[in-house]
Amino acid sequence: MSPEQLLIQIDLIRSITLKAVETVTDEEADMQPPGFNNTIRWHLGHIYLVQERLAFHFAGFPVYVPPEYIDLFSNGTKPSDWKKEAPSLAELTARLTEQPERIRTLLGDKLKEEPAIPCPLFDGKLTTIGAIINFSLFHEGMHNSALHRLKRALHLLRA
């Protein structure tokens, strides 16, 4: 995949994520139907956090993540364990909206380069910044699926 195609994919995947939640309320974002480990708010924060780490950390750039996001949205966290107030849906969607442009601006011409910090994922087989970001799109797609399942479950609960 060419760098330009990857940048288009970043925008496309992110638009799908944002479209999925544009009608979700703050109340709905925090509802956790039976059988679900997390909420819509958690998935959005997790997508932002992981993309930020994968895109920028390994490229050697600053990661723009508020410190509380680590405790709220890292792997293995869940809203039922939160001891801090989570960011609003508006804050999360704003961060998710601006992130692709920052990737394009800071990393767009570096996608074929080796990461500044070797990426340990998959035994180091992600050998370019673009490959690492491409994996982050797979990750976001998995969480998109979870967002859609949560929205469907919430709809069924209200019916």
- Tens of pLDDT, residues 73-102: 999 999 999 999 999 999 999 999 999 999
User: Average pLDDT, whole number, for the chain?
Assistant: 94
Does residue 158 or residue 106 have the better pLDDT? 106
Residue 159 has a pLDDT of 66
Query: What is the domain extent for residue 77?
Result: 3-158
Residue 43 token pair:
């998935």
Question: Do residues 110 and 59 make contact, with C-beta atoms less than 8 angstroms apart?
Answer: yes
Does residue 155 or residue 115 have the better pLDDT? 115
What does the pLDDT look like over 116-149, one tens digit per residue?
999 988 888 899 999 999 999 999 999 999 999 9
Residue 81 has a pLDDT of 92
Half-sphere exposure for 53 (CA within 13 Å, toward CB): 18
Residue 59's domain is classified under what CATH number?
A: 1.20.120.450
CA angle 133, 92, 106 (to 5 degrees): 35
Task: Indicate if the pLDDT at residue 18 is higher than 80.
Answer: yes
Instruction: Count the domains in the chain.
Output: 1
